[in-house]
A and B are shown apart, each in its own frame.
Chain A
Amino acid sequence: MAAPTLEIKTLGLGLRLSSKGASNRLTNRSLRILFTRASRCKTTSTMLRPRLSKDSSAWESVIGLELHAQIASKSKLFSASKVQFMAPPNSLVSHFDAALPGTLPVLNKRCVEAGVITAIALSCHINKRSLFDRKHYFYADLPSGYQITQQRVPIATDGQLTFTLFDEKRRHDPTRHRVRIKQIQLEQDSGKSLHDDVNHETLVDLNRAGVGLMEIVTEPDLSSALEAAAMVRELQLILQCIGTCDGRMDQGSLRVDANVSVNRPGDPPGVRAEIKNINSIRFVKNAIDFEIARQTELLENGMEVSAETRSYDLKLGETVPMRDKEGKQDYRFMPEPNLPPLILYDNATIHTASDARSVVNIDEVRGRLPELPEAKRQRLVKDYGIRLDSAVKLVNEDGLVNFFEAVISEDRERDPKKVVNWLETELLKSLNDHDLPVFKSPMDPTKLGELHDLMTKGAISANIGKKLMAEIFQGDSRPITQIINEKGWAQITDRQELNQLCEQVLKKDQALVDSYKSGNTRVINRLMGEVQKMTQGRADPVITRDILTDKMTR
């Protein structure tokens, strides 16, 4: 019989504590965790402006996200002008993008494929027949006065995304969450407006106008800012993995709008406010946290939350009402008359297509789907026996999994756990210090494998290993063995030599020896430190410790 579990969903924190065997009793430990967590939550909220009353933990929050992912294609959705992040203003604009009369939209095949691959990766139901519509509103960066989108029948519906939420302090087990994806639709991006407040005018650049976007709408299944941030991160990894979007929130390739509302447990969801244009994962968490706190404070003081659109001001760390929003918009949706329905085929129906090469075959696209991040993590844990959070770190860094697998495949004797450890700590640290991505690392898998082997065999100590890493990252391209020889960094493993060194250290610091003998065994670390200083870090730590302990306990 399975041990009975008690699940407490801590409100607004998205954690599930399971207290096995406690039946209906709250154990002291789980109670303590619950309250320290809740109080920590309160501490962070009091750092923000709104002041919360004592029972702030009696509110639930409901969050839904709308993400706009720019499709990684060479040309735009309905025109053949280039897609590029930075370019001279209005240089990537065709006549259609500028909405000049007489131009017509022509759909980009790559964008359709991108939509289909994304839908498959998110386990969506794909509509074999989808329609395009016009959404009308006036703004300077929308030259035609309407955006071509898919409002009635989008390309995909009813999917899901699962992700794991890790507790940063490692006190609780990671929790799995599932968010339902309401729909994925293809639509056009608008141009960019630069507001010049000095001259009271707006400068408009249409380079971005017409770029293909996938709008991914989730159901309001999220219940905390942390969950939302984790979900966005997982989606970012998936999109980067399948290559449909580079996921760079800092460049605007991935934009998040959050719909947030709070309610008391048991009540239906409250009035929701929309936070637009969040452009980093950290801000996703901060903005939603702030908004939940703001709404909670309003409701606790008997005021109402207004259904408005807000934006996140990163300087203030707050959400502020957005300017230029004119009440409830009527978008006057109408079918796009210039585009027939988009028909997608699969292996069963491809023979009915007039030209099999110029249509999108869902099954063919599905065959090209690469290994998704979650599958990759599970495989790494299973095949190499590493921990799940190590697998998470590997998958998190672009190119690191390939690096790791290359090191292991060169020499199957290498212990994956030790290799992963070195990658997670030293390699990532060096890469970060020099601001390099994995594929630009001066240390390639072969060299790292060599270094790892030298350390495992005892030819050099871990300290020297770190020094070597630093050397190589500084630009030293000599072979490792050459550096070791020339710098005299080989590890001292000769017992006699170490014996002499230890004797010297012990003679110098009689006080420490006495301290050790009187029971303070931790001073051995200081003695070790002395030995390492004398040998520039070359002493074999295991043997040295052994000798020191031996000498002092005699």
Chain B
Amino acid sequence: MYHLVMSRRILSSCILVLQATNQRLCSSNGGLHPKEPVIDEQTIQRLERLALVDFNNVAGIQRLTEAIKLADQIQMVDTTGVEPLDSVLEDRTLYLREDEVTEGNCAEEILQNAAKTCEEYFVAPPGNIPLPPKPVARYDGHQSDEQDCS
């Protein structure tokens, strides 16, 4: 009997906490889910150029939209006065290494995966080659621009 009373009290206090949290959680955006993101053509081309990721196809854009929607949920939380966390290591001590030379001297190893080398140098094109402009796949259910996932 005693256990039942105890657990009911715990249960009710848990419910109260949950309700309070729910209030806080839903306060910043009015508790509404954020709108579905729309990614326009310019953004896609810019992202491709900056990140060199080829996602300019229906599936790719859809996946990006889903990812943004997932991340957008944080806007439903009231984060006033909360410092952003950028690393779970933030309380760790940053280890400082003594200034001694213990690495290097392995040119052959370093170069072994390179596509083209010349006398111990890596060979690269003469400069950054700009991406060729491509038409952007339409994510509107038309299926007209079909997959050319390369």
Interface of A is mostly: loop
From A131, which residue of chain B is reached at the shortest CB distance?
Answer: B86
Within the assembled complex, what's the spacing in Å between the Cα atoms of A429 and B101? 40
Cα separation A200 to B126 with both chains bound (whole Å)? 5
- The residues of B that contact A354 with a CB separation of less than 8 Å are 93
A150 nearest CB across to chain B (Å)? 13
Q: Are A107 and B94 CB-contacts (below 8 A) given A81-B103, A136-B50, A206-B110? A: yes
A98 interface hit (Cβ, 8 Å): yes
For the side of the interface on A, what is the size category? 35 or more
For the complex, count residues of B whose C-beta is within 8 A of A: 39
Q: State whether B121 touches A109 (Cβ < 8 A).
A: no
B102 interface hit (Cβ, 8 Å): yes
Instruction: State in angstroms the CA–CA spacing of A339 and B94 once bound together.
Output: 7
The answer to whether the Cβ of B97 comes within 8 Å of any Cβ in the partner chain is yes
Q: Report yes or no: B100 in contact with A342, Cβ–Cβ below 8 A.
A: no
Residues of B within 8 A of A108 (CB): 96-97, 99
**Chain A, range 304-355, C-beta contacts under 8 Å to B:** 323-324, 326, 330, 332, 335, 337-343, 353-354
Q: Does A552 reach chain B (CB closer than 8 Å)? A: no
CA distance A343 to B103 in the complex (A): 26
User: In the complex, A195→B125 CA distance in Å?
Assistant: 9
Contact with B along A155-185 (1 / 0, CB 8 A): 0000000000000000000000000000000
**Closest residue of A by beta carbon distance from B92:** A340
Q: Across the interface, which residues of A come within 8 angstroms of B81, CB to CB?
A: none
Q: Given A90-B120, A93-B107, A136-B50: A109 and B97 within 8 A (CB)?
A: yes
Stretch in A71-79, A288-296, A374-382 touching the partner: A71-79
Are A92 and B104 in touch, CB under 8 angstroms?
yes
B127: CB under 8 A from chain A? yes
For A326, give its contact among B51, B92, B104, B128 (CB under 8 Å).
Answer: B128
- A248 interface residue per 8 A CB criterion: no
- CB neighbours (8 Å) of A194 from chain B are 121
Q: Tell whether B87 is near chain A: CB-to-CB under 8 Å.
A: yes
Known contacts A94-B104, A139-B128, A335-B87: A89-B50 contact under CB 8 Å: no
A90→B97 contact, CB < 8 A: no
CA A385 – CA B127 in complex, angstroms? 58
A107 to B95, CA, bound (A): 7
> Which residues of chain A are near B95, meaning CB under 8 Å?
106-107, 358
Question: Could you tell me the distance between the alpha carbons of A134 and B130 in the complex, rounded to whole angstroms?
Answer: 23
Judge if B123 is at the interface, Cβ distance under 8 Å: yes
- Verify B125–A201 contact, CB threshold 8 A: yes
Pick the contact of A324: B46, B110, B128 (CB < 8 A): B128
Chain A residues with CB under 8 Å of B106's CB are 93-94
Contact between chains at A89 and B120 (CB < 8 Å): yes
B82 to chain A, nearest CB (A): 16
Instruction: Determine how close the nearest CB of chain B comes to the CB of A23; give it in whole angstroms.
Output: 58
From the candidates A92, A94, A109, A335, name the one contacting B96 in the complex (CB within 8 A): A109
A112 at the interface (CB under 8 A from B): yes
Q: Mark B35-47, 1 if CB is under 8 A from A, else 0.
A: 0000000000010
Binding site for A on B (CB under 8 A): 46, 50-52, 86-87, 89-107, 110-111, 118-128, 130
Mind listing 10 A-B residue pairs with CB under 8 Å? A74-B101, A90-B120, A91-B105, A94-B104, A95-B110, A107-B96, A339-B94, A340-B89, A340-B92, A343-B94
